[in-house]
Structure 1
């Protein structure tokens, strides 16, 4: 596979781990070895393991285990089970993982309770194998492939379910390689990713063929305290404008929508800021995804242990309990709150961003 240009610098809001750990099997792949070269150029400690088992050795100190995990990038091999794609409604037909885990410190983190053990960010060395497996899924999905409203997107592959690939890009180059691969794949397909980071410079000159959609994950400045270690929202919107100007289809992921005091004013300003950032872009292809805050008992317990001082409201106030498709219970806003939120967002988006397509509300 022809690789994309290799990013080597730290940029806006770039994460730089304290160490990069590489498993024995990951060193067998050229992409894995290239990540180690970038890490060494950036002055990051590289630890080569003699086997494939990851351990931090802090089982009795969860706070230290969390801190060490968040400072670590592990280069590993995605096993066959990880390369068998799963549907990812309502976002896309299929979930394709370039990595697993995220370096940000969001006190509402969607991954809390979903990933086992300390939250080490793992990036996959066998990227060629992952991408080469995608053609088997072409036309097989049910979210966009068979949707009258979204069929023009083709078969969609979501790369941000368990990670933020842009956050890892200066070290991994995985996102650039995937975008270039989709650019050469002359079929009705689209790669999708969403990010809370903003260093898009390596992506702007890629031959993307219009087959990658970047979405900026955004929340009002009033709620930025819940998104530690990320790029400021203004930088994310500026990056989205740069991507749109470079011909990429783009989107806004407004998530999680938090019904805290003053939310109408805060989210109204956010939507206006997005409109300003995208003003003047010719042939703008813009989508919006609206995701309200929710949590499970398991994720709440993990988040409380990770961020004991967080002021994020995870109490039963204005909440109802619903059962997930996995048989667990999640706490979502009650019907009245949901109705107020949805009516507000649909009205304000129509006013400020009339060209946008709202893909879903959840």
Structure 2
């Protein structure tokens, strides 16, 4: 394993303020989140109703900054608790929160979440967990896939958030991992992260039922991933999780076909190979996701990051229609073939034990 002595300790992210709804305080998990916030010195504002009111400045840039530093503690509604399919990653999506404090200029949540980009964390964790058993064996990805059937029914916890960055405040990810560790079922929890503070997770009795993936991109693209942990720290964290017996993986996303991409991603896969070298019995997967955007997400991202150099010119992309009829702008077929061939060959050469789960 490569030495991590020179790596800085992972930084704990904390919000500037926590807005607390009355309903959230009815839950023990919600009260524990408030107690943690107060211990950390976070400003806690107890609201008089469950309606989230944001007193934000008129200036769009300041409004964005204030929203990103704000967390709301709420109760997930029945519709939010209802599990949804999440192909190709997993059978079902399980949400512990909604929103992310990072500043990624390609953020795929930009077109999905409405209003200022505050993060909402859920207090009613027991009600969320109640939904899981009835979904066993009912998914369309691993539940019915010959190649991935050994994973059992899979539940993805990082679709609408990065649960690891919120963990010091919420404790929700630790609770979920421990729940899966005790659940005697053919099921697996999955989450991916661009952060590195895994200390709270290492001693949990996870039972081998959780897979952490590090979401990584080349260091030369770090300018597109503001506020996240350095890639070297993410890989070191993944190795620590593997050493603690967790299943692990790499989410290389979004793959950006910018000038010099071959050298950049070759270096990234080399770096991952060194970090995970000789990880005893590591169960390693790789997920490959190319950069894409919708007209709606582009408009939001252009307003959030007006100076970004990330290429999102629709004229330079192909249009792809989703099953719902909406438009996504993706790389053209020739570029996709070139990218896919490169990654398949490079991963086979340097990470021969890894399983590529999907390409999209």
Report what 1:164 is aligned to. 162
| Contact 1:197–1:231 (Cα < 8 Å) also in 2 | yes
Separation (CA, whole Å) in 2 of partners of 1:84 and 1:114? 17
Counting only pairs closer than 5 Å after superposition, residues 65-80 of structure 1 correspond to structure 2 as 65-80=63-78
Separation (CA, whole Å) in 2 of partners of 1:319 and 1:154? 37
Q: Does residue 313 of structure 1 match 2:289?
A: no
| Contact 1:65–1:118 (Cα < 8 Å) also in 2 | yes
Identify the match of residue 337 of structure 1 among 323, 328, 335: 335
Report what 1:350 is aligned to. 348
Aligned-pair CA distance for 1:318: 4.1
The gaps in structure 1 that reach 5 residues or longer are 1-10
Secondary structure at the aligned position of 2:320 is classed as strand
Secondary structure at the aligned position of 2:115 is classed as coil
| Contact 2:73–2:122 (Cα < 8 Å) also in 1 | yes
| Contact 1:318–1:337 (Cα < 8 Å) also in 2 | no
Alignment deviations for residues 108-136 of structure 1 (CA, whole Å, 9 cap, x no partner) = 00100110100110110000110122101
Alignment deviations for residues 137-190 of structure 1 (CA, whole Å, 9 cap, x no partner) = 011101000100000000000000000000000000000000000000011100
Report what 1:196 is aligned to. 194
Aligned residues: 352
Report what 1:5 is aligned to. none
| Contact 1:13–1:230 (Cα < 8 Å) also in 2 | no
| Contact 1:245–1:281 (Cα < 8 Å) also in 2 | yes
Alignment deviations for residues 320-358 of structure 1 (CA, whole Å, 9 cap, x no partner) = 011112221110000110010000000000000000000
Report what 1:3 is aligned to. none
The gaps in structure 2 that reach 5 residues or longer are 1-8
**More deviation, 36-45/50-59:** 50-59
Separation (CA, whole Å) in 2 of partners of 1:240 and 1:326? 36
Report what 2:10 is aligned to. 12
Report what 2:223 is aligned to. 225
Report what 1:145 is aligned to. 143
Separation (CA, whole Å) in 2 of partners of 1:101 and 1:327? 25
Separation (CA, whole Å) in 2 of partners of 1:284 and 1:60? 50
Q: Does residue 123 of structure 1 match 2:121?
A: yes
| Contact 2:83–2:131 (Cα < 8 Å) also in 1 | no
Report what 2:20 is aligned to. 22
Aligned-pair CA distance for 1:316: 3.3
Report what 1:38 is aligned to. 36
Separation (CA, whole Å) in 2 of partners of 1:94 and 1:296? 23
| Contact 1:14–1:197 (Cα < 8 Å) also in 2 | no
Aligned-pair CA distance for 1:14: 2.1
Separation (CA, whole Å) in 1 of partners of 2:48 and 2:204? 36
Identify the match of residue 83 of structure 1 among 78, 81, 84: 81
Normalised TM-score (structure 2): 0.96
Separation (CA, whole Å) in 1 of partners of 2:67 and 2:93? 24
Separation (CA, whole Å) in 2 of partners of 1:349 and 1:279? 13
Report what 1:260 is aligned to. 258
Aligned-pair CA distance for 1:294: 0.3
Aligned-pair CA distance for 1:60: 4.7
Identify the match of residue 211 of structure 1 among 199, 209, 212: 209
Alignment deviations for residues 76-131 of structure 1 (CA, whole Å, 9 cap, x no partner) = 00011111100000000000000000000000001001101001101100001101
Separation (CA, whole Å) in 2 of partners of 1:13 and 1:220? 20
Secondary structure at the aligned position of 1:111 is classed as helix
Separation (CA, whole Å) in 2 of partners of 1:59 and 1:331? 33
Aligned-pair CA distance for 1:58: 3.6
Aligned-pair CA distance for 1:13: 3.0
